[in-house]
Amino acid sequence: MDLLNTLVDKGLRREMPTREEALAVLATSDDDVLDVVAAAGKVRRHWFGRRVKLNYLVNLKSGLCPEDCSYCSQRLGSKADILKYTWLKPDQASQAAAAGVAGGAKRVCLVASGRGPTDRDVDRVSDTIRTIKEQNEGVEVCACLGLLSDGQAERLRAAGADAYNHNLNTSEATYGDITTTHTYADRVDTVHKAHAAGLSACSGLIAGMGESDEDLVDVVFSLRELDPDSVPVNFLIPFEGTPLAKEWNLTPQRCLRILAMVRFVCPDVEVRIAGGREVHLRSMQPLALHLANSIFLGDYLTSEGQAGKSDLEMIADAGFEVEGTDRVTLPEHRAAGGCGSQEAAGCGPHEGGACGSHDGSGCGSHESGGVCGSADLPRAEEPRTDLVAVRRRGAGTDLAPNA
């Protein structure tokens, strides 16, 4: 297919596709999806080999957010039956982080619900960052605390943070349809603040909220312009008790096309499969590893993920390898720019007010349903509500985390 050959050539040269080419990737048929994966996989392997970076989420403060992000289980007015708790103590957060590091994660992402941190919150998170770094040798730490005020990014960096996550989530044109308590421009400003402070900027999107192909291309092109080191791709989990609970718009093939488009537009950036991979990619998750070079290990913020052991088995069975702490995630030309070193190689997506992605709002577990007969399986076009499960273990509970 001439389109795919053109996009591979551009990806190897770090040349921007046209909007028409990006839209054409999303418009390809299910019959062509393997060709699309194979083409984007060439670009992925050129820049990242067969390495998969593992990231681990620690939800420092869960629920009761004053923002109204429609996709989020922690939003104002959410009726989702999620865990709700206030700030974890530094030792509690470090203990949770250690479980992820033991499971193979090289990056720990610290998330807190809310519009943005107070100066006291920044002090609290700074203490947590220092504790994690002292107790977990070689770990990278990313913070995701919402909208930043002047000077806060610098303080997090001084405490040892390597990265800051703040997602754009959707196109500027449709942003007001999903959130009214802050603006798209607020989000862009926080990404700029992270960059300016020397933090590795991480910013991504949520697919499946009813957006058009044009919206998806718009937000990915905006992300390329912002030039984050990491672009997490979330797939909406329609969590009961949120305004988007009935939005089931994705198929595994659609998710693969979206990931391929992101890879073509951002060829040399860490592309992370984030919330919703278990629910929407399902048995086609291994194919997505040919497109993305990063995933989360185990559970998410307010929802269960695939068992950490299953994640590791999937990576090995697909012919990939877990990226060790001795490897720099980003290509040399990006790492040399000051944001992409091993210590600052990008972070993951998170839900939580203005910080938000939706990855913690209900990422389904494959364990809860057990093994069922074919007669019990939903048809492909039916919503897989059976794969959405609230997190009941790990941070904020007395139960061991899933890592």
Residue 255, marked binder: no
Residue 339, marked binder: no
Query: Which of the residues 254, 257, 272, 391 is marked catalytic?
Result: 272
272 is catalytic: yes
Query: Which of the residues 44, 72, 144, 334 is marked catalytic?
Result: 72
Identify which of 116, 109, 181 has the alpha carbon closest to the alpha carbon of residue 141. 109
Query: Which of the residues 124, 187, 202, 363 is marked catalytic?
Result: 202
Residue 272, marked binder: yes
Query: Which of the residues 65, 144, 255, 363 is marked catalytic?
Result: 65
255 is catalytic: no
**φ, ψ for residue 17, nearest 5 deg:** -65, 165
- List C-alpha distances in Å: 189 to 150, 166, 186: 10, 10, 5
266 is catalytic: no
Query: Which of the residues 44, 124, 142, 144 is marked catalytic?
Result: 142
Residue 109, marked binder: yes
142 is catalytic: yes
Query: Which of the residues 44, 75, 109, 266 is marked catalytic?
Result: 109
Question: How far from the centroid of its chain's Cα atoms is residue 292's Cα?
Answer: 11
Q: Rounded to an integer, what distance in angstroms lies between the CA atom of residue 391 and that of residue 299? A: 7
Specify the residue for token string 């004053």: 66
Angle at 233 between CA 228 and CA 239, to 5 degrees: 135
**φ, ψ for residue 273, nearest 5 deg:** -80, 120
The number of residues in the chain equals 403
Q: Rounded to an integer, what distance in angstroms lies between the CA atom of residue 52 and that of residue 49? A: 9
User: Residue 361 in 3-state DSSP?
Assistant: coil
Question: How far from the centroid of its chain's Cα atoms is residue 231's Cα?
Answer: 7
355 is catalytic: no
Query: Which of the residues 44, 69, 257, 266 is marked catalytic?
Result: 69
| Residue numbers belonging to the annotated binding site for [2Fe-2S] cluster | 109, 142, 202, 272
| Residue numbers belonging to the annotated binding site for [4Fe-4S] cluster | 65, 69, 72
Residues with catalytic function: 65, 69, 72, 109, 142, 202, 272
| Residue numbers belonging to the annotated binding site | 65, 69, 72, 109, 142, 202, 272
